Amino acid sequence: MAPAPGDREARREDVSQAVWQVLADKGFGGLTLRAVATAMGASTGLLMHYFPTKRALVAHALDLLEKRTAARPRREPPAAGLAALRAALLDILPLAPGDVARNRIWVSSWDLALADDDLGADQGARYERLRSSLLRHLETARDLGELPPAADPGRLAATVVAFTHGLVVQALFDPARFPEDVQTSLLDDFLASIAEPLPARGP
Amino acid sequence: MAPAPGDREARREDVSQAVWQVLADKGFGGLTLRAVATAMGASTGLLMHYFPTKRALVAHALDLLEKRTAARPRREPPAAGLAALRAALLDILPLAPGDVARNRIWVSSWDLALADDDLGADQGARYERLRSSLLRHLETARDLGELPPAADPGRLAATVVAFTHGLVVQALFDPARFPEDVQTSLLDDFLASIAEPLPARGP
């Protein structure tokens, strides 16, 4: 007897959860049908029903990463300008365990994306979208007088993304050295350095 | 007849060159005996003589990456302080083709390192060494009065590494948007933001 539609949906969710677990533990380099089957206590044969090829499994994993990133809980966007920028960047950093898993999987995906022209172009476009979404906050910040008048929001967007993703990578490899409060205060210092004239050298 | 020692050495160099080529094209995810054999026009059997296991091949690749990074040509270190810091960061960025390959391979290695506790600890220690080497320049910069008196060189070292590696990743995925002059000027703007009091807002 074929499973009821509700069962099929539940099983599909189990499969996605197992794929996520394998990615968080082993990255794309460790993503195999066998590893997913083990993670969900199922047979490799069952998994082949969902993923007839390795390529199909990888495509599902990338799609899952995209969807879970888009659907992740986010901070209420406060006001606008630099405060909104700060909230958007805190939503990226690996502060809580779920954020750590998501970031680990993203960093892991870069190996795949660097080796494949199409995936590399997708990742390049994803960076462009991220810079554009932050640009909005930087332009507002400039209009609000939160940035020096000579600041270039377009260039700053690339700098802000660079700082944030470089902090992600360091924090993933050394969580003890970069707990939540350290990441947050490094971000605040960085935002202060692009925003405010520093105090004059004294005394 | 066994090959002469000189031949063996030359062959070993060929193998390393082929491993490097595979890593630059396909990353650690694409590093297989077969791919290395194809890159050097040799048989998989010959390669198994050098690398009896996949683990041995990966260990050789990581060792090669470490050695080629240490041996890469560097800029003459100019003076000290922020000028020396700038030179050290330019030596990291993917400005010339050889730098691009090296950075691609490093970013690719993170997938592996995130999935393996020992390799992850190695990468964490590598970051600690990088921050320490830059800290020296930041402390000198502070002593020379190039940084605001309240600046914390230890925290700044993490920020500088974050900015630099985040720029590396963006540039790898979008080289047309981040050619050498753009990377360099973003670095210069970033260094100016940590160094100098910005001009007062006005008028």
**pLDDT of the residue at A120:** 96
Label residue B4 by pLDDT band (50, 70, 90): low
The whole-number average pLDDT for the span B7-14 is 84
Cα–Cα dist B133/A192, whole Å: 25
Q: How far is CA A149 from the centre of its chain?
A: 31
Q: Minimal Cα distance from A103: which residue of B?
A: B114
Closest of B34, B26, B23, B24 to residue B58, by C-alpha? B23
Using the structure block, give the residue that is written with the tokens 């966007």: A77
Contact A193 B189 (CB under 8 A): no
Mean pLDDT for all residues in chain B: 92
List CB contacts (< 8 A) between A166 and chain B.
161-167, 169
> B13: distance to nearest CA of chain A, Å?
24
Q: Please state, for a pLDDT cut of 70, what percent of chain B lies above it.
A: 94
> B97: distance to nearest CA of chain A, Å?
15
Considering only the beta carbons, identify the residue of B148, B170, B198 that sits closest to A148.
Answer: B198
Cα–Cα dist B36/A125, whole Å: 31
Structure tokens that stand for A159 in this block = 């700098």
Contact A114 B120 (CB under 8 A): no
Contact A115 B127 (CB under 8 A): no
> B8: distance to nearest CA of chain A, Å?
31
pLDDT per position as a tens digit, B36-65: 999 999 999 999 999 999 999 999 999 999
List the single range of B1-10, B123-132, B138-147, B159-168 with lowest mean pLDDT.
B1-10
Task: Write the DSSP string, A37-73.
Answer: HHHHT--HHHHHHH-SSHHHHHHHHHHHHHHHHHTS-
Contact B167 A158 (CB under 8 A): yes
Label residue B196 by pLDDT band (50, 70, 90): low
List CB contacts (< 8 A) between B155 and chain A.
185-186, 189
Q: What angle do CA B52, B33, B115 make, to 5 degrees?
A: 85
Q: How far is CA A192 from the centre of its chain?
A: 24
Buried b (16+ CB within 10 A) or exposed e, A143-169: eeebbbeebebebbbbbbbbbbbbbbb
Q: Does residue B98 register a pLDDT over 70?
A: yes
Cα–Cα dist A167/A186, whole Å: 9
Q: What is the mean pLDDT of each run of 10 residues along chain A (203 residues)?
A: 68 94 95 96 93 93 95 86 96 94 96 95 96 97 92 97 98 97 97 72 45
**pLDDT of the residue at A149:** 87
pLDDT per position as a tens digit, A162-186: 999 999 999 999 999 999 999 999 9
List CB contacts (< 8 A) between A162 and chain B.
162-167, 169-170, 186
Considering only the beta carbons, identify the residue of A169, A177, A185 that sits closest to B110.
Answer: A169
Q: What is the ipTM of this complex?
A: 0.91
pLDDT per position as a tens digit, B14-30: 999 999 999 999 999 99
**Within 10 Å of residue B181's Cβ, how many Cβ atoms?**
9
**pLDDT of the residue at A109:** 96
Domains of chain B: 5-69 (1.10.10.60), 75-195 (1.10.357.10)
> A140: distance to nearest CA of chain B, Å?
16
